[in-house]
Structure 1
Amino acid sequence: MARVKPSSFRTQRSADLRHLASLLERYGVCLDTGPIQSAADQCSRNKPHGHDSWGYRIDRLIFRDLEKPKSSWPKSISDLSIEFNIEISGWCLPTDHCEDPFETLAMDIIIRGRTLGGALVMCAWHLDRHIGKHVSKDASPAHPHYHFQHGGNRLNNEIKESGQALIIEAPRIAHPPLEATLGVDFILSNFKSKDWARISEDHQYRNIVRQTQNHCWSSYVHAISTALPIQGNVQQSTNKLISRELWPQLL
């Protein structure tokens, strides 16, 4: 499939990141969007895999004032914050592409807080794209090309005492890829739902999320749907209500 004009693609991705940063500031969701602005600068000029590629990195984008979790261990956690990091690269593809849009993807979501006694606690999730065309021999057979995993190196490196908690290598859960916009939307929809309800009513935010979903998820969803033994018109009869229940972030 013919790729779009690379310079225009990188310019649009860069503009989307700047608009996202502006919206997060406008709605008071994230007070320091410098890491996103830096990623926008990178995206406008980076060509990590040649002239028709793009890429950027976000380090330590911090979200504070998280909603109190319904349950946690230890209990009564305070001063919760989320650190978001992502390093990503991909290809300049048209909207109706059917290719894997990414070449590399590594994303970390790290939640930190304090116990009543003042001890620091943390948990983490990691999303990545498998590197290379084939899974290594020592990897689990259940190794999705894109997968979420609880823990990861960040948790292993920082947790020194675990009490009675058992921390083992977590299973890799299949998940569609997330770019920065969708990673932020994932955080807001799961940990700052009141802010997400407000900002997701903004037409500019919805447009950025929808366009990014199309770019990141269309080929992923198509690949899954073509693998399912759907007969007749069953697939076409799936209504929007059902899809929203199954995938709440899908606008």
Structure 2
Amino acid sequence: MDEIELSNALEDLCEVLESFFGKGVRDVSGLKQAICRLKIRTGNPKQKEYPLSVNIARLSFDIPTTHKHTLPIGVVDSILTLSIKMGFREPIASFYCINEMNIDFELSANDKEGRPIKSAWHLDYHDVKGDEHFSHPQFHFQFGGKKLRESLRVDCEHFNTGELLLMESPRLMHPPMDPILAIDFIFSNFLGEASWKALRQKRSFIKIHKISKDAFWRPYFEGISNYLSNPTSSKQALGLQPSL
């Protein structure tokens, strides 16, 4: 996707999300600001050859209280925030041009005594150079991380994890996500089956979801598939999953 195609896709995404206000979607102002920045870029001929970047800050969603097996028991007022930062080597958004990707999912709530509780996951891109002490897929999910540590320092100076152990491993292999794929991830994992089905029935979302899958997921899975068909032919796959 070039800058115009990306801007149009994000506008469609914003319109879809606004139709879910009060039904899980809380705030999309960060997406609107990102669209404005892209439109300014498209109107400036000097920027057309510059590498493309996307920065969306803190979209927020209300998490329903119907989630099972939540610890601690009695969690209320759960809010999830999504922040996305992507950078590309060229003026197009595509899998082969990614040089930066940070997608942060931060959850905050209160326990039944009203005390704040937090959780966080993030999806990173890291082009491994040299030896790594642990398996480090280029695109990986990881629990906790910098966002969780930062929020705990601010809100809970003497935070005690009790019986919970937080560590940097494992880094879980996962295909890359752009804003459209990240929104689908949130609906499918946090907002409930009815909301996810409703999202997947929106014609404009069906269109942009396919575009994103073709741009980011098709080459990712083809890289893995090519390796499995011919292990000597694809060095790319070993970057995507060092355990192959």
TM-score for both structures, normalised by structure 1: 0.79
Task: Please tell me the residue identity of whatever aligns with 2:209.
Answer: V
Count of matched residue pairs: 217
In structure 1, the partner of 2:129 is 135
Matched, 1:121 2:117: yes
In structure 2, the partner of 1:211 is 211
Report if aligned partners of 1:42, 1:55 keep a CA contact under 8 Å in 2.
no
In structure 2, the partner of 1:76 is 74
1:35 pairs with one of 24, 30, 35? 30
In structure 1, the partner of 2:11 is 18
Cα distance in 2 for partners of 1:31, 1:116 equals: 23
How far apart are residue 51 of structure 1 and its match?
A: 1.1
Cα distance in 1 for partners of 2:128, 2:116 equals: 39
Report if aligned partners of 1:16, 1:208 keep a CA contact under 8 Å in 2.
yes
In structure 1, the partner of 2:241 is none
How many percent identity over aligned positions? Answer: 25
Task: Please tell me the residue identity of whatever aligns with 1:211.
Answer: I
Cα distance in 2 for partners of 1:16, 1:42 equals: 14
Task: Please tell me the residue identity of whatever aligns with 2:186.
Answer: I
How far apart are residue 146 of structure 1 and its match?
A: 0.7
Structure 1 or 2: more helix by fraction: 2
Structure 1, unaligned runs of 5 or more: 231-251
Report if aligned partners of 2:128, 2:138 keep a CA contact under 8 Å in 1.
no
Report if aligned partners of 2:111, 2:117 keep a CA contact under 8 Å in 1.
yes
1:63 pairs with one of 61, 64, 69? 61
How far apart are residue 25 of structure 1 and its match?
A: 0.7
Cα distance in 2 for partners of 1:92, 1:218 equals: 20
Cα distance in 2 for partners of 1:218, 1:124 equals: 27
2:84 pairs with one of 86, 105, 120? 86
Report if aligned partners of 1:101, 1:215 keep a CA contact under 8 Å in 2.
no
Report if aligned partners of 1:67, 1:191 keep a CA contact under 8 Å in 2.
no
Task: Please tell me the residue identity of whatever aligns with 2:70.
Answer: S
Report if aligned partners of 1:43, 1:54 keep a CA contact under 8 Å in 2.
no
Cα distance in 2 for partners of 1:67, 1:224 equals: 38
Provide the aligned C-alpha RMSD in A.
2.4
How far apart are residue 31 of structure 1 and its match?
A: 3.8
Cα distance in 2 for partners of 1:102, 1:77 equals: 38
Label 1:200 to 1:67 Cα distance change in 2 as closer, same or farther (>3 A): farther
Matched, 1:195 2:190: no
Label 1:136 to 1:78 Cα distance change in 2 as closer, same or farther (>3 A): farther
In structure 2, the partner of 1:243 is none
Which shifted more, 218-227 or 35-44? Answer: 35-44
Report if aligned partners of 1:66, 1:81 keep a CA contact under 8 Å in 2.
no
Label 1:113 to 1:92 Cα distance change in 2 as closer, same or farther (>3 A): same
How far apart are residue 170 of structure 1 and its match?
A: 2.6
How far apart are residue 147 of structure 1 and its match?
A: 0.6
| Greater RCO structure (CA 8 Å; 6+ sep) | 2
How far apart are residue 167 of structure 1 and its match?
A: 1.3
Task: Please tell me the residue identity of whatever aligns with 2:167.
Answer: I
**1:38-71, CA deviations, whole angstroms, 9 ceiling, x for partnerless residues?**
1112234189x98153111111111014352201
Label 1:140 to 1:158 Cα distance change in 2 as closer, same or farther (>3 A): same
In structure 2, the partner of 1:110 is 106
Cα distance in 1 for partners of 2:13, 2:65 equals: 22
